[in-house]
Structure 1
């Protein structure tokens, strides 16, 4: 999703069905630009591909379960509050501590059981919302860690994502895209709350849900995610880094399923650049999983401006987890969003790429548990 900003780019290489944008035109010229494009492919994932995706995710998930403990690399993270008293306000570097080379690797059950009583939490129910092009499959490590610690966890496949059998090119609105999430929240028993976790374009998706169901959301966690203010679209946010990331411009492919007189219907990513853009610190097996599981991201929701109110969206406690080694949503853009709409607390996950559920699963898990404990 971070590759959206290069929508503002110069004429694409001529291809029959899809277009790469390499240099940025103005937004006002987009409609005329679209009209000059050739009609593009109408790719639809058939059932065989969907089943292959589900099987790949299931096999990896089962393998980790059979192995028992998850031998993920441990990393430290820094945490700092956005505001509050001087006593609690720390520079970003002051809360980090050097770790000894002999520091033992903590097992998942040790992480989740340190000073925590699940019955004392406002909620122990996490709902994980993937980013653009991803699916519920990307959370398989996080699901295993949270479940082992006694937490309740659900991962949602948004419309046209993961194993959800819907043509991405037919999605025309954000409400349609997030319907699986809003349906899930609507069916929650009265009085039950969840912690929403959104990655990448999952950020606007959980924001939309927070506005609709503020009483059902205890906390919201944005991980390397677009965190919009009212009246902004995701395109507005990512146009801020237009021209600053050549890798994004090289990787993105715009799909024009409705022909040359219409705007793009979806955004895909060049599979040869997946690792460099999204998984530059992630294990090879997870990159392989992503390469057979990722689907195009619908374009219409990217253009939609959110309407967020202080009384609803603003009443939910927000937290942000930064990913400093992110090549898709660069750290300066993350900082800009945080400064524009400060959350309650910000956490920095050292060594994390755009997909910390792969590159730093235990460290990210530890932060999620810590956030759940904040009174």
Structure 2
């Protein structure tokens, strides 16, 4: 190879290396000047989302009526949880899958102990929406008396809603005056002759449930109820105590009543009597629902509860 040609090739290689080095320097400058992802802002956005979800997530505590259990809320609980909320469907003692036997429960306090334990476990700074159905309105009322600051709204869904400083049983007395024992059909009653109030416990019969309580429900729900129903006590001596509920505690909690329009057990007239004698802050109505409104109109009940939570929590 001629010296001149060799020199030219060396110059070309040097030029190529210089060009490559220039490209590397330019890429490095570009990388340094390129905007970096705002990871701080992304983290803040995630935190804001979590906070927002926490702000809108509500806790609903559901209290069933007699002869039933927490299972009766299965449709409503599914809807509320699907909407992002927390649900506690309580089994009162001797009900649902609770292991206590009705024969071993002698006081109303023993009957409602699982609800009181659940309420005691709620953080003091948390506000819940508590819902009581039928006779479960009495259990709800006692929870209001003992934990008034933890309940943002107490919802009585076609439920017994007693007045403070009077016998809670007076609300039930009115029911029995309007209804007669002959209308109980195939319900089973158990009596204790040694007590001043002898009716110790009762169980709803299949015909009574299908005709009077589940008249707007899918028949499968009535069948389920006949398979799961357990005897319930009335605890008349305890709920006749005029000092059971006070204005300072029970009376300080916002109450909402939900009328079930086609209820054949607690008729609309009876529900309106409850409301007139002890007016709540708000009244809502559900059309086409029977006594078991959580099963016959679960979406309507869910909508009502979400509106209540939005207003009071």
* TM-score normalised per structure 1: 0.64
Residues 81-128 of structure 1 show CA distances to partners (whole Å, capped at 9, x for unaligned) of xxxxxxxxxxxxxxxxxxxxxxxxxxxxxxxxxxxx75445x600000
- The equivalent of 1:333 in structure 2 is 270
* Distance change in 2, residues 1:131/1:315 (3 Å): same
1:138 and 2:72 matched = yes
How far off its partner does 1:232 sit? 4.3
- The equivalent of 2:233 in structure 1 is 298
Over the residues paired in the alignment, what is the CA RMSD in angstroms?
2.0
Provide the rounded CA distance (Å) in 1 between the counterparts of 2:269 and 2:166: 18
Task: Specify which of 106, 115, 124 is matched with residue 172 of structure 1.
Answer: 106
Rg larger for: 2
- The answer on whether the counterparts of 2:190 and 2:199 sit within 8 Å (CA) in structure 1 is yes
- The equivalent of 1:279 in structure 2 is 214
- The answer on whether the counterparts of 1:266 and 1:297 sit within 8 Å (CA) in structure 2 is yes
- The equivalent of 1:358 in structure 2 is 295
Task: Specify which of 214, 223, 226 is matched with residue 157 of structure 2.
Answer: 223
Provide the rounded CA distance (Å) in 2 between the counterparts of 1:302 and 1:268: 19
* Distance change in 2, residues 1:268/1:243 (3 Å): same
- Where relative contact order (Cα < 8 A, 6+ residues apart) is larger, the structure is 1
1:160 and 2:94 matched = yes
How far off its partner does 1:180 sit? 0.2
Give SS of 1:308's match. Answer: coil
Provide the rounded CA distance (Å) in 1 between the counterparts of 2:237 and 2:134: 12
* Distance change in 2, residues 1:118/1:275 (3 Å): farther
Q: Which has the higher helix share?
A: 2
Q: State how 1:1-375 maps to structure 2 within 5 Å.
A: 119-121=54-56, 124-233=58-167, 235-242=169-176, 244-245=178-179, 248-256=183-191, 260-262=193-195, 263-301=198-236, 304-305=239-240, 307-375=244-312
Give SS of 1:255's match. Answer: strand
How far off its partner does 1:312 sit? 0.9
Provide the rounded CA distance (Å) in 1 between the counterparts of 2:225 and 2:168: 23
Give SS of 1:357's match. Answer: helix
Residues 113-153 of structure 1 show CA distances to partners (whole Å, capped at 9, x for unaligned) of xxxx75445x6000000001110000000110000000011
- The answer on whether the counterparts of 2:69 and 2:91 sit within 8 Å (CA) in structure 1 is yes
How far off its partner does 1:372 sit? 0.6
The gaps in structure 1 that reach 5 residues or longer are 1-116
Q: How many residues align?
A: 256
How far off its partner does 1:245 sit? 3.7
* Distance change in 2, residues 1:302/1:352 (3 Å): farther
How far off its partner does 1:212 sit? 0.3
The gaps in structure 2 that reach 5 residues or longer are 1-51
* TM-score normalised per structure 2: 0.76
Give SS of 2:152's match. Answer: strand
- The equivalent of 2:15 in structure 1 is none
Provide the rounded CA distance (Å) in 1 between the counterparts of 2:295 and 2:276: 27
